[in-house]
Every structure is written in C-alpha cells, then in structure tokens.
C-alpha cells in the first residue's frame, strides 16, 4: 500500500512538473518575444545606419567647407588680380598674362560654385536621410520598450504560477520514495519530461499503447511497475 501511495504521489509530482515545464516553455516562446527580438534587431540596425549616415554627413560637410574655403581664396585672388589689371602700368606681355590668370580664376571659381552647390544638395539629401532614420529609430525603440514592458508583465504572472507550483512540488517530493524519485528524475529527460503515467484499463497514459494481460501482470510485479513499450513508470489506477 505504501508503494502504491508513493506511486500516486509520484504521479502528482509528474502533473506538477509537467505544468512547470509547460509554463517555462510558454515563458520562452511568447509571440511578444519574437516581436521584441525583431524590434531590437531593427533598432540595432538603425543605430548602425544612423552612425554611417552621420559620418557620411560629416564627410559632405568637410568637403563643402573645403570647397567654400578654396572658392573664397580664389575670389580674393581674383579681386587682387583684377585690381592690378585695371590699375594699368603693365607691359603688354604682363597684361596678357594677367588677363589669362583672371580668366582662369573666373573659370575655377565657377567650377567651385557648381561643386559647392552640388555638395549643398548632397548635404540636404544626407540630412533628410538621417532624419528619416532617426524617426524610424524612435518608432523602433518605442515599440521595443512597449513590448519589453508587456513581456515583463506576462513573465511576472507566469513566474508567480511557477512559484506556486514549485511550492506544491516541495510538499510532494518528501512523500516519494527516494529511489523512486531518483529513477523518475533519470527518466524524465529521455521521455519529453514525462517519466510516470497512469495505467488505466491496461493502457499506458504515457505512450497510450495497450499492454496485453501478460505484459500488464509482468509490469505490476516489477518494482516499480514499468511500461513494456515506453519503459515509463506506471501508477496503476
């Protein structure tokens, strides 16, 4: 009778352990976790893209500053050379050379103006692209934070249920024969968490296969009873 009582307690333990396993599986497979990982990956990707876009914008800014600085130098030089040219007093050769220099400076300034305008347009585009990425990051981070709060709330409920079941388990374990408990813990990992099952009308509650009359009699003579098919521990009902 004591053996039967221990088997019944073991079956109760199995129910509790199965419920704990189910809750742990639920805890790690919430749909919100998948959405959170996706939002986190999006936020991380956007961070990298924002960093790259920021560097690109800095490069354009430097190029624009350099082009404007060079254009300013050329404009100053052009003004000086034009003053020399219009002041007169130059030989024909020097005047021709100076006019060529002035024309060259005007062409170069025109080219630099085109370059500066192109860089301004490129900078505006880079700035707009950066702002779009920053707005997307705000949305992604907000979604990630929302999901994190939601997941924490769900986990709190699940963890409370697990704690309740763990307390129940702590009450059952001392009631089970230590050797039987050791066998139970040994079998559980190899049987998808189900090491003991009820034997009802000759059918194993673990593998759901029927035992013949001879197999059932043989199983019930063993200590502890074991299913002929799946080798789980049997608790006769």
Instruction: Find the domain containing 192 and state its range.
Output: 180-236
For residue 237, name the pLDDT band (cuts at 50, 70, 90): confident
Instruction: State the DSSP code for 206.
Output: T
Band the pLDDT of 130: cuts 50, 70, 90. Answer: very high
Range with the lowest mean pLDDT among 82-91, 159-168, 171-180, 224-233?
82-91
Are 198 and 11 within 8 A, CB to CB? yes
CATH number at residue 71: 1.10.287
Whether residues 64 and 142 fall in one domain: yes
Q: What's the N-to-C CA distance of the chain in angstroms?
A: 13
Q: Are residues 187 and 106 in the same domain?
A: no
The pTM for the full model equals 0.71
| pLDDT greater than 90 at residue 227 | yes
Give 47-67 pLDDT, tens digit per residue: 999 999 999 999 988 888 888
Reply yes or no on whether the pLDDT at 1 is more than 70: no
The pair of structure tokens assigned to 39 is 């939002």
Phi and psi (nearest 5°) for 210? -85, 140
């Amino acid at each position: 009778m004591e053996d039967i009582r221990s088997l019944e307690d073991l079956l109760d333990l199995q129910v509790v352990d199965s419920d704990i396993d189910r809750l742990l599986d639920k805890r790690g497979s919430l749909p919100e976790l998948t959405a959170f990982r996706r939002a986190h990956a999006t936020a991380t990707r956007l961070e990298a893209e924002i960093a790259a876009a920021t560097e690109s914008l800095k490069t354009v800014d430097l190029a624009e500053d350099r082009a404007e600085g060079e254009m300013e130098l050329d404009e100053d030089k052009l003004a000086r050379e034009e003053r020399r040219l219009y002041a007169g007093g130059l030989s024909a050769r020097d005047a021709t050379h100076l006019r060529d220099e002035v024309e060259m400076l005007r062409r170069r300034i025109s080219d630099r103006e085109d370059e500066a305008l192109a860089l301004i347009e490129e900078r505006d585009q880079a700035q707009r692209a950066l702002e779009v990425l920053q707005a997307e990051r705000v949305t992604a981070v907000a979604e990630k934070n929302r999901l994190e709060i939601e997941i924490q709330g769900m986990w709190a409920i699940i963890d409370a249920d697990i704690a309740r079941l763990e307390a129940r388990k702590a009450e059952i374990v001392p009631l089970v024969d230590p050797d039987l408990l050791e066998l139970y813990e040994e079998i559980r990992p190899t049987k998808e968490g189900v090491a003991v099952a009820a034997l009802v009308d000759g059918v194993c509650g673990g593998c759901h296969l029927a035992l013949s009359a001879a197999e059932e009699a043989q199983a019930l003579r063993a200590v502890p009873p074991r299913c002929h098919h799946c080798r789980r521990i049997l608790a006769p009902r």
